[in-house]
Amino acid sequence: MNSLDRINHVVVLMLENRSFDCLLGQLYPKSPDFDGLSGSEFNLDQNGAAVKVWSRPSTDKSNMTIPDPDPGESWVDMNQQIFGASPLPAPPPPADMSGFAKNYQAIPKPGTPENVMHFYLPEQVPVISKLARQFAVSDRWHASAPCQTWPNRFFMHTATANGYENNSPPHFPYEMATIFNRFADHGVPWKIYFHDMPQTLTLSRLWSHLDRFVLYPEFRHDAQHGTLPAYSFIEPRYFADLTLPNDMHPPHIVTLGEQLIADVYNVLRSGPKWAETLLVITFDEHGGCYDHVAPPAAVAPGTTPTTPFNFDRYGVRVPAVLVSPYIRQGTILRPSGATPFDHTSIIRTLRERFSLGPALSARDAAAPALGDVLNLAAPDNPGPPNLAPLPYAPKPSEIAEAMSLPLNGMQRGLLDLALHLPPNVAVGDLAAFMATHADALRAGLFPVAEAAGADMVDAAATIRRRLTALFANV
């Protein structure tokens, strides 16, 4: 038995591109009960030299942006990282997590291979570490696929990537059925809270629910006033625009992501519905950062095989911290069977708690649910009243520098998404209007009138303009 039926509000914060070992590998000493880093793990570089995992205690910018430059995160990159082989032979060799250093040396702007083997100490990431120790951490949570951000976020929302193993090329419109639509069909409230550009707008079945997309300050308001919906999904800031991203995507400053986690926790903890809330903090994929645990085989989401990848194995482990007064302090969450947790475990849990009907795909049908983490009969572990993240206030020169940088792959994809959204939304039948726009995208008839921005300033301005038009009549 668990206390899932006592939870009336599920909040998910999904950040970007960090492996379990990178952020939480030394949360506890390595043992049979916690599969973290011993400190002896290593990869061989292209010259055959051993590159060990390492850390240093500093919390300055140079340390809190490692790895810099950004590691490779395409499906091909991840195959090399996991199997140590590129191209991947058929059948693949055993997954031994031996290719991170070599892959990092092969990216377009390679850094030293040590960067990708770096990990953070708990005192460098005190917020997520405190929450993991006070409540629960899972060392058996894998990204849903060894793929980039978009496929894994699709699994988070739809329990499938629809056969798309990379962010690009885009395949607008993405028409998969979503867990948000299940909530809508059952009359159960939900919201998506975002900072700048919600990746969830890739999903065309959400276009008729634009009133459910709101800026992050509304989350703070709803939490403080006890008006959170049954399901809240939070997207971080992906772009530099008068401030810096807080998504933790390498080489973005990890401390800014810690500040976001602390803010989410603090407003929930001080709100009137804290005793009814489950907060899940996780990351979409490992982003090329080293992890020592090989991903196991997975249930493919559909019955029709897809190429070049059938989504029949999980991605690399990612951090997963679960927070609720119904969780016993110091819980290390593992599934009862051999199937690990992945992002579709959230879908499975939401379906069970809110009676949302059958599985979206074979993947969430097979996923272990999260109810067992709620292992207290009463909300006896309220947690600290407030968490204070490490201070970090970006200097104007840092913001100016960040705004002049080229876009990373995720940012380019989000800009492309913004350019393919309707330039304006007519007053009237929103669902019909959006269906017409989806038809035009499907037929390849929708012209992109604006060129993609060359840097962050152009991209941020374009996204603001497109979102302003999209939400003008909502």
Express each pLDDT in 116-169 by its tens digit: 999 999 999 999 999 999 999 999 999 999 999 999 999 999 999 999 999 988
pLDDT at 328: 98
The yes-or-no verdict on residue 426 having pLDDT over 70 is: no
Residue 197 near residue 238 (C-beta atoms within 8 A)? yes
Measured CA angle at 291 (ends 157, 117), to 5 deg: 125
The yes-or-no verdict on residue 453 having pLDDT over 60 is: no
List the structure tokens of 150: 């978009």
Separation in Å, CA 237 to CA 21, 59, 122, 133, 168: 23, 21, 24, 26, 21
Cβ count near 443 (within 10 Å) = 8
The pairing of beta strand 136-138 with beta strand 320-323: antiparallel
Predicted structure pTM score? 0.97
> 27-41, 96-110, 225-239: which range is least confident on average?
96-110
pLDDT at 329: 98
pLDDT at 381: 98
CATH class of residue range 4-44+121-373: alpha beta
The full set of domain ranges for the chain reads 4-44+121-373
Residue 147 near residue 286 (C-beta atoms within 8 A)? no
Task: Choose between 43 and 471: higher pLDDT.
Answer: 43
The yes-or-no verdict on residue 446 having pLDDT over 80 is: no
Q: Rg of the chain over CA atoms, in angstroms?
A: 21
**pLDDT tens profile 239-277:** 999 899 999 999 999 999 999 999 999 999 999 999 999
Peptide bond into 422 cis (omega under 30): no
